């Protein structure tokens, strides 16, 4: 148990729709990162938030956006869904301190776009 939870566990959407995925970080963690894991591949970094501000972004278009809230919760929003957005979406929380940072992952949300 990492103390990181995600909701929902599964989701089915149709192309063009919008989706919001939620994550609850470990208490005290000031950083949350989101990853997309397509079937049979390693996770790909989407973006990271540190103290409620975006702190790095991977190679994903602007229709992927996020928010981090003071109560250790965060959201990943995806607009104009495409078929290729079907994947497992993982959030990871961490405490940013000098000397290293370890990310702890939630169980993921599996998104299917039809």
Partner 1 sequence: AQSVTQLGSHVSVSEGALVLLRCNYSSSVPPYLFWYVQYPNQGLQLLLKYTSAATLVKGINGFEAEFKKSETSFHLTKPSAHMSDAAEYFCAVSLQWETSGSRLTFGEGTQLTVNP
Q: Which residues of this protein are in contact with partner 1, per CB under 8 A?
A: 2, 4, 6, 31, 33, 35, 41-45, 48, 50, 55-56, 58, 90, 92, 94, 96, 99-108, 110
Q: Tell me how far, at minimum, the Cβ of 48 lies from partner 1, in Å.
A: 5
Nearer to partner 1 (CB atom), residue 17 or residue 41: 41
Q: Tell me how far, at minimum, the Cβ of 8 lies from partner 1, in Å.
A: 14
10 sits in which H/E element: strand 10-13
Task: Order the strands of the 19-24 sheet from edge to edge.
Answer: 5-7, 19-24, 73-78, 64-68
Nearer to partner 1 (CB atom), residue 44 or residue 73: 44
Nearer to partner 1 (CB atom), residue 15 or residue 54: 54
Residue 5, token pair as written in the block: 């939870």
Q: Tell me how far, at minimum, the Cβ of 83 lies from partner 1, in Å.
A: 21
| Distance, C-alpha 102 to centroid of its chain | 16
Nearer to partner 1 (CB atom), residue 86 or residue 105: 105
51 sits in which H/E element: none
- CA neighbours closer than 13 Å in the CB half-sphere of residue 80: 5
């Amino acid at each position: 148990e990492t103390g990181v939870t995600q909701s929902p566990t599964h989701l089915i959407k149709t192309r063009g729709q919008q989706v919001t995925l939620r994550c609850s970080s470990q208490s005290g963690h000031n950083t949350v990162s989101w990853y997309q894991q397509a079937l049979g591949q390693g996770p790909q970094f989407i973006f990271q938030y540190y103290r409620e501000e975006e702190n790095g972004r991977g190679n994903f278009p602007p229709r992927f956006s996020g928010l981090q809230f003071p109560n250790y919760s965060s959201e990943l929003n995806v607009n104009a869904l495409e078929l290729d957005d079907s994947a497992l979406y993982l959030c990871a929380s961490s405490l940013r301190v000098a000397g290293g940072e370890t990310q702890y992952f939630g169980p993921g949300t599996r998104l299917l776009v039809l």
